[in-house]
Amino acid sequence: MEQSKGRRVIIFPLPFQGHINSMLELANVLHSRGFSITIIHTRFNSLNPSTLNPHFTYHSIPVDFSETEAASRDPKGFLYLLNVRCVEPFRECLVGLLSDDVKLEGPVACLISDTLLHFTRPIAESFKLPRILLDVSCATNFAVLAAFPLLKEKGYLPIQDSRLEEVITELSPIKVKDLPKAPGSDPENYYQLAIQVSNEPKSSYGLILNTFEDLEGHALARIRRHLPNVPIFPIGPFHKCCRTISSSSSLLAQDQSCISWLNTQAPKSVVYVSFGSIIQIEKDQFFEIAWGLANSNQPFLWVVRPGLVNGLDWLEALPNGFLEALNGRAYIVKWAPQKEVLAHLAVGAFWTHNGWNSTMESICEGVPMICTPGYIEQMLIARNVSDVWKVGLQLEHGIERGEVERTIRRLMVEKEGEEIKERSLKLMEKANRCLKEGGSSYQYWDGLAKHILSL
Ligand code: UDX
C-alpha cells in the first residue's frame, strides 16, 4: 500500500475501555497499511502514549468528568454530557491539526469517530473533513436498533414484562428480553438514542464494523438495506488483523502473574471469568458466582475489577479462607491480559458478560462461553452465542450457584460441552479464514483503504 504513505487519518475514540480497544486496533491496522495516524483523546480516561503505538501522534483535549459523573449508571445521560463537553475542545484541536504547519505532516484524509459521538458531524462538516464512523458493537445490535420503529409498530416496544420470553418473529431467535436497553434510562429516551445511532451513518462517508460476513451476514444485509447509500466495511476481527504491533490500550494495569498460574494448569481445564470494564454486580451475585465456581471443582481464573461489586472495594466480603480452601484451584486478579489469557492452552471456557470485544476475542481463540449478559446489547450477543452460533450456554435465569455449577459441568465435562467446543473451533477457523487473502474482511480492508484514499 505504498501509495497511501503520507495520508493522515484522525481518530477519535469514545473514552471507554471497550471502545478505545476497538478504535486503537483499527488504527494499528490502518497504520500497517501506510496511513499516518493522529489520535485525539479526552483527559477523562486519558490514553498513555508510552504504552501505545509510538508511530502515532496523540493529542489530549481538556474534557473531564467528576467522579460522580463518571460513576453514572445511565449511559444515555453520560453520552449526552460527553457530546456537549467535547464540542469546543475538539473543534480547537482540529483547528490546530488542520492548520498549514501541521498540513506539512501530510494532508488529512478523514476523521474516524465512534457512532456515539454524534457531535463530531457538524464540526467535521464545518471543516469539510470527511467523517467515517466506527460502531464498536456487533452488526446484530446495529440492525436491531435500525428495526426499532418496526418493533414499536408491531407492539414489541416499549418492552412489556408479560412478553419477555416471546421470540420476535421478525428477528428470530431474538426474544423480547434480549432487546437492547439501559438501566435507569427512560424507554422513550432509549428509543430516541437508537434512532439517532442507527441513522447517524446516513450523514457519513462510511460505517466500519468489527465483525465478518460469515459471522453476521444476515445482520449486515439488514444494515445495507437500512443504509443503501453508505459504504459498509465489516473488517473484523480487528485484533487479529495486525500481528506486528505490540501495544496495550488497557486503562488498568494487566496482572501478568495469572499467566504463570495458567502455566501450571492442565490443558483446557480452566474457566476464565471476567465481566468487562463497566458492568457492576450486587453483593449477593458476587457470592453466588464465588460459590458456584468453588463448587464446580474446575480451576478458575477470576477477574474481580475494583468497583465490580457495588459497595465493595475488592474481595473483602469473601469468607476468610475461601481461596486457601480451594488449594490453588483458583486465581483472582484485578485485571488480566485478556487476549493472552484466552489464547492460553489451559483455558477451556470463558464466563463472560458478552461485551462485543470479549465475545470476539473468545471466538477468535475457539473458547466456548458461558453467558451472563448485563445490559445494552449484551443480551443480543449472548443470544447469538447460545442460539445462533451455538458456541456457548446462557445462564438464562440470573446467577444462582447451583445453576452456575451445573452450567460449568455441562460445558467442561459433558458430551454437550464436547459439541460446543467443536463448533467453537469451527467458528475460530472461519474468523481466521476471513482475514486471509480472498477472505471477506481482507477484501473489505482493501476497499476501505481505497475508499479513504478517494475522499
Ligand atoms: C462495553 C460493552 O459490553 C460492549 O459490548 C460495548 O460495545 C462497549 O462497552 P466492556 O464492558 O468494556 O464494553 O466489554 P468488552 O467490549 O468486552 O471490552 C472489554 C475489553 O477489556 C476487552 O478488549 C478485553 O480484552 C479487555 N479486558 C477485559 C482486559 O484487558 N482485561 C480484563 O481483565 C478484562
Render pLDDT for 150-163 as a digit per residue (tens, 0 to 9).
Answer: 999 999 999 999 99
Q: What residue type is assigned to position 394 of the chain?
A: Q
Length of the chain as a residue count: 455
Ligand 1 atom at minimal distance to the Cα of residue 353 = 3
Structure-block grid coordinates of residue 207: 460505517
94 pLDDT above the threshold of 60? yes
Q: How far apart (Å, rounded) are the C-alpha atoms in residues 208 and 218?
A: 16
Ligand 1 atom at minimal distance to the Cα of residue 136 = 7
Give CATH for domain 2-241+435-454. 3.40.50.2000
Q: Is the CB of 138 under 6 A from ligand 1?
A: no
176 pLDDT above the threshold of 70? yes
57 pLDDT above the threshold of 80? yes
Give 162 Cα–ligand 1 centroid separation in angstroms: 32
pLDDT at 182: 85
More confident residue, 375 or 360: 360
Note the pLDDT tens digit of each residue in 122-157: 999 999 999 999 999 999 999 999 999 999 999 999
Strands (E), 235-346: 270-274, 300-303, 330-333
Report residue 45's pLDDT band, with 50, 70 and 90 as the boundaries: very high
Q: Is the CB of 136 under 6 A from ligand 1?
A: yes
Note the pLDDT tens digit of each residue in 179-218: 999 877 788 989 999 999 999 999 999 999 999 999 999 9
Note the pLDDT tens digit of each residue in 252-281: 999 999 999 999 999 999 999 999 998 999
383 pLDDT above the threshold of 50? yes
12 pLDDT above the threshold of 60? yes
243 pLDDT above the threshold of 80? no
Q: How far apart (Å, rounded) are the C-alpha atoms in residues 298 and 330?
A: 9
Q: Are 87 and 93 in contact (CB under 8 A)?
A: no
Q: Are 314 and 304 in contact (CB under 8 A)?
A: yes
Residue entry with cell 488480566: 336
Ligand 1 atom at minimal distance to the Cα of residue 19 = 8
pLDDT at 217: 98
Give 210 Cα–ligand 1 centroid separation in angstroms: 14
Q: How far apart are the first and last CA of the chain?
A: 16
More confident residue, 225 or 18: 225
Report residue 338's pLDDT band, with 50, 70 and 90 as the boundaries: very high
Taking the model in full, what pTM does it have?
0.95
Ligand 1 atom at minimal distance to the Cα of residue 333 = 33
1 pLDDT above the threshold of 50? no
Q: Give the CA distances from residue 455 to residues 8, 124, 444, 448, in Å, rounded to whole numbers and listed in that order.
A: 12, 14, 16, 11
Q: Is the CB of 115 under 6 A from ligand 1?
A: no
Element (H, E) at 352: strand 347-352
More confident residue, 313 or 71: 313
Give CATH for domain 257-432. 3.40.50.2000
Q: Are 52 and 247 in contact (CB under 8 A)?
A: yes
pLDDT at 2: 42
Note the pLDDT tens digit of each residue in 59-89: 999 999 998 888 776 777 889 999 999 999 9
3-state secondary structure 209-235: ECCCHHHHHHHHHHHHHHCCCCCEEEC
Report the candidate in 12, 9, 11, 16 with the shortest Cα–Cα distance to residue 249: 16
Q: To the nearest whole percent, how much of the chain has pLDDT over 70?
A: 96
Structure-block grid coordinates of residue 225: 438495506
Q: How far apart (Å, rounded) are the C-alpha atoms in residues 105 and 87?
A: 25
CA 327 to chain centre: 34
Q: What residue type is assigned to position 384 of the chain?
A: N
pLDDT at 180: 95
Contacts of 289 (CB under 8 A, 6+ apart): 273, 281, 302, 399, 404
Give 208 Cα–ligand 1 centroid separation in angstroms: 18
Q: Is the CB of 45 under 6 A from ligand 1?
A: no
pLDDT at 28: 95
Q: To the nearest whole percent, how much of the chain has pLDDT over 90?
A: 86
Q: Is the CB of 140 under 6 A from ligand 1?
A: no
Q: What residue type is assigned to position 177 of the chain?
A: K
Angle between helix 187-199 and helix 139-146 axes, rounded to 10 deg: 110
5 pLDDT above the threshold of 50? no
Report residue 3's pLDDT band, with 50, 70 and 90 as the boundaries: very low
In this structure, the strands spanning 300-303 and 131-135 are unpaired
pLDDT at 102: 66
Domain with CATH 3.40.50.2000 in the chain: 2-241+435-454, 257-432
More confident residue, 249 or 60: 60
pLDDT at 73: 66
Give 422 Cα–ligand 1 centroid separation in angstroms: 25
Give 278 Cα–ligand 1 centroid separation in angstroms: 8
pLDDT at 78: 86
pLDDT at 155: 96
Q: How far apart (Å, rounded) are the C-alpha atoms in residues 279 and 263?
A: 29
Report the candidate in 114, 136, 129 with the shortest Cα–Cα distance to residue 40: 114
More confident residue, 111 or 106: 111
Structure-block grid coordinates of residue 373: 449478559
Report residue 423's pLDDT band, with 50, 70 and 90 as the boundaries: very high
Strand order in the sheet with 232-234: 57-61, 35-42, 7-12, 108-114, 131-135, 207-209, 232-234
Q: Are 5 and 117 in contact (CB under 8 A)?
A: no
Q: How far apart (Å, rounded) are the C-alpha atoms in residues 123 and 133?
A: 14
In this structure, the strands spanning 232-234 and 7-12 are unpaired
